[in-house]
Structure 1
Amino acid sequence: MLRYLPLFIALALMVYCVIDVAQSEADRIRNAPRWLWLTVIVVVPIIGPICWLLLGRPKADGGGGGGYDRPRYPDDDPDFLRRL
């Protein structure tokens, strides 16, 4: 049973990366188009998913604001302050 563990890990990593590529916004994917990343992940089992995680995955925004540039608080929003 233990000898199948590397195969299971490689398969799980590949499935995770394929789903991650499919759910990523096409304009935010780095270094290659989506179809090429999917091909690399499926054809090159261990190296492909690792390359996706390191080189292709969109960078996190860090702010959690949903990807759009809005003021965080009402007093930072000039339009809101103008309406007062």
Structure 2
Amino acid sequence: MLRVVGVIVVLVIYIYGLVDVIRTDGRSTRGLSKPAWLVVVVCLPLLGAILWFIFGRPYNTRKAPQTYRHPTAPDDDPEFLRNLEARRRNKAEAERLKKLKDELDAKERKLKGETGVEGSDGITS
């Protein structure tokens, strides 16, 4: 009975160590590279798993649970709404300036026509 429990404990440690090596990000392993740790754990089942837990596993294995961020709809995105309002104001201002320029040009043409001022080409407007 004790022998069966021992075999089960060794298998659990081996499988847990192997899965932990596989799931760990390759950039965060210590000591050896991730493929090297896989070879060590596979070739030396119990000893490799123990070495992994002592020397190879990243220090901070607790990660905050990752929450999936759903993309926000444009009408729910405050940045989009701010930009939309700024574009609307800019467009309205451009239209206002164009209207003022057209009015000014019309007044200048009317004024030149009343006074008989010659244009730049020498012809009276």
1:20 CA drift (Å): 0.7
Which structure dedicates a bigger proportion of its chain to helix? Answer: 2
Gaps of 5+ in 2: 67-125
* Alignment size in residue pairs: 66
1:34 aligns with 2:34: yes
Higher relative contact order (CA 8 A, sep 6+): 1
**What is the CA-CA distance between 1:6 and the residue it aligns to?**
1.3
Aligned equivalent of 1:76? none
Q: TM-score, normalised by structure 2?
A: 0.47
1:1-84 aligned within 5 A:
1-60=1-60, 64=64
- Label 1:23 to 1:9 Cα distance change in 2 as closer, same or farther (>3 A): same
63 and 44 in structure 1: CA distance in 2 versus 1, 3 angstrom threshold: closer
Q: Which runs of 5+ in 1 are unaligned?
A: 67-84
How far did residue 2 of structure 1 move? 2.3
Return the offset for 1:5.
1.3
The CA deviation string for residues 29-71 of structure 1, in whole angstroms up to 9 with x for no partner, is 01111111111112112211110000000011778597xxxxx
| CA–CA distance in structure 1, aligned partners of residues 65 and 39 of structure 2 | 31
Gap change, CA 1:11 and 1:65, over 3 Å in 2 = closer
Higher-Rg member (1/2)? 2
Identity across matched positions, percent: 29
